[in-house]
Amino acid sequence: MIELQDVRKTYGDQVVLDRFSHGFATGSFTAISGPSGIGKTTLLQVIAGLLPIEEGQIVIDDQITDTKVQALHPSLRQVGYVFQFPALWPHLTVRQNILYGLMHQPRSLQEDRLSDIITKLDIAELMARRPAELSGGQARRVSLARTLITRPRFVLLDEPLNNLDARLKDQILSMVADYWVKQQATVIWVTHDPGEVSGLAPVVGTFSPFGLV
């Protein structure tokens, strides 16, 4: 479970999270909607440990990960993050990008997981390319593969279907849904259009700085 307890986050004079409290149950799939610029991405980033908080605390699986004075490193949270704009390392090939999180795992495990995920996302032919050679849709799928191949228990997705055609939207949604069910993961999906996951998300919350309604 992920619990945010009276979390406060500001950017200068702008209050983005104001004593924000909410719990995301283990194995749940929650879609968070709302207009741009109100803090949905910030919410994901404080959960992932990418941004510090000023007040309150975050608890993941009964472990306090964030307070105003200390934070658990992002790599130790079992949290996978799919950014709104694919954050691929430009100097690495697609294959190297996807396998980055498994670099210390046995080669056989790397190959098994890589084969499975690139087949499901239809990106096998991209392995030798660099990120600069990818289309937007291809980069989005590579980013998703890089996140899910490590099999995180918690998956945060920031507008993963933005600016994609219908076929790619269906492909990515199917992949995330399959992962959610098989891995019993906790998924938080930020979107402008909650209807895109209406068949999956039992709870669709509208974002506010104080919580989800």
pLDDT, one tens digit per residue, over 12-64 is 888 999 999 999 999 999 988 887 788 899 999 999 999 999 999 999 999 99
- Contact between 204 and 212 under an 8 Å Cβ cutoff? The reply is no
pLDDT, averaged across the chain: 91
Residue 195, pLDDT score: 78
Residue 208, strand partner residues: 211
Residue 203, pLDDT score: 58
- Contact between 173 and 201 under an 8 Å Cβ cutoff? The reply is no
Tokens of 24: 């995301």
Q: What's 114's DSSP letter? A: H
pLDDT, one tens digit per residue, over 70-114 is 999 999 999 999 998 888 999 999 999 999 999 999 999 999 999
Domain with residues 2-92+152-212, CATH architecture = 3-Layer(aba) Sandwich (3.40)
DSSP symbols for 155-199 = EEEESTTTT--HHHHHHHHHHHHHHHHHHT-EEEEE-S-GGGGTT
Residue extents of the structural domains in the chain? 2-92+152-212
Residue 4, strand partner residues: 22, 58
pTM to 2 decimals? 0.90
